[in-house]
Amino acid sequence: MSSVFTPFTLPNGIELPNRLVKAAMEENMAVRGQLPDAALFRLYRQWSRGGVGLIITGNVMVHAEALTGPAGVVLDARAPLEPFREWATAAKSGGARVWMQINHPGRQVRADMPGVAWGPSAIRVDLGRNSKRFAEPVAMSQRQIEETVARFATTARRAHEAGFDGVEIHAAHGYLLSQFLSPLANRRADRWGGSLENRARLLLDVVRAVRAVVPAEFAVAVKLNSADFQRGGFDADDARAVIAMLAPLGVDVVELSGGSYESPAMTGQAGDERTRAREAYFLTLAEDLVRTSAIPLMLTGGVVRRPVAEEVLAGGVELVGMGSALAVDPHLPDRWRHDPAAKVELAPVRIEDKAIASAAGMARVRGQLRRLGAGRPTKPGISPQLALLTDTVRQRAALRRYRSWLRDRPAH
């Protein structure tokens, strides 16, 4: 049986040194120009030297006018490549491989952000009294859909040129491709809506377009919800069918996660009986999906202990993604080699409002990433409320910088 330190060969023939993956976490650490800089390079060098076999970056945006946060990194046709080359070099400096996660937020854009808020349909994110924090989206036109497919392909091609080993197309967590998959967010009556085949069309077109512009040895992965955890939403049967649709398209790995801003299962806030209370949130669903999947699966969500990671592999999943644990201790995989009982402690966020709890949890993680990027030790015991306040102040400054950059960027 495979252990977490057993190498894994991808369908494209490339070998990963082991089964542990630094999963994507949204750093929101871009500098002016929405570019990576020394802080991100320092952070990724730590992860590469910490023992994981693969690093997946925080999401890189394919559309400069559509960001998940004001300090998001953008790689489009006009971005300079040199900072991305430095990023790839830093991420591979310790022996890990690195994939760039590429994403479009769709309607999950803050109301105070400039640019565009697009969705399959003009349906705003529903967070009850917090809904007004998000922009009112417009339904995408045929041309906007086609241009978005082309943007994903451009970002993937340029990631390859910059020295990354692959890309992961983000089709989970309620972002644009996930919105098209969801019968709750997608009420279209054209070829992009209705049946699951129609709702999956955008994702499939993006995968085809990406695969067409990168070489065979360049990995193409997809991040997919195992379920949305919303009544009437995308569910495990839908996930099984979409994985089958992806199988003939040259996809190397499907990473399973779950949830969205409306039901933040990815931060442990879903409260669904199918998610484990503390670790490997989506393992039950993954063990079901692995039985029929022709594509290797990766599972992310809550793993902080080696025995749990080994349990994931024993269930037939090939790769184990870790996020928050590696934000607290980037060298945890190496510690596991010498002490299988090693773990990190990250106290649960005890805030009743799930949306606020999710935001505070992510702010606490981002705070650890900034500390690592500054060459400082992590401080996981910080209050989630204080982390959210600090993050909010930083986001306001980043928003001013992003608005200025977008306004001054020459029309193209």
Number of other CB atoms surrounding residue 307 within 10 Å: 12
Give how far Cα 306 sits from Cα of 239, 254, 290, Å. 27, 22, 21
pLDDT, tens digit (0-9, with 9 covering 90-100), for 262-305: 554 444 444 444 334 345 556 777 788 999 999 999 998 788 99
pTM reported for the whole predicted model: 0.93
Residues listed for the chain: 412
pLDDT surpasses 80 at 374: yes
Cα 268–chain centre separation: 15
Write down the pLDDT at residue 225.
Answer: 87
Residue of 297, 292, 300 whose CA lies nearest to 317: 297
What mean pLDDT do residues 176-185 have?
Answer: 95
d(CA 22, CA 92): 12
What mean pLDDT do residues 2-16 have?
Answer: 95
The CA radius of gyration of the chain, in Å to the nearest whole number, is 19
Phi and psi at 71, nearest 5°, equal: -110, 30
d(CA 340, CA 342): 6
Torsion of CA 99, 100, 104, 109, to 10 degrees: 110
What mean pLDDT do residues 320-327 have?
Answer: 95
pLDDT, tens digit (0-9, with 9 covering 90-100), for 29-65: 999 999 999 999 999 999 999 999 999 999 999 999 9
3-state class (DSSP) for residue 312: helix
**Domains detected in the chain:** 8-344 (3.20.20.70)
Residue of 345, 297, 336, 305 whose CA lies nearest to 322: 305
Find out whether 22 and 55 touch, Cβ atoms under 8 Å.
yes
Q: Transcribe 76-103 into DSSP letters.
A: STTS-SHHHHHHHHHHHTTS-EEEEEEE
Residue of 56, 15, 26 whose CA lies nearest to 267: 26
Q: What would the two tokens of residue 101 be?
A: 């996660």
What mean pLDDT do residues 398-405 have?
Answer: 97
Number of other CB atoms surrounding residue 292 within 10 Å: 10
What mean pLDDT do residues 327-332 have?
Answer: 96
Residue of 173, 103, 110 whose CA lies nearest to 137: 110
Find out whether 152 and 104 touch, Cβ atoms under 8 Å.
yes
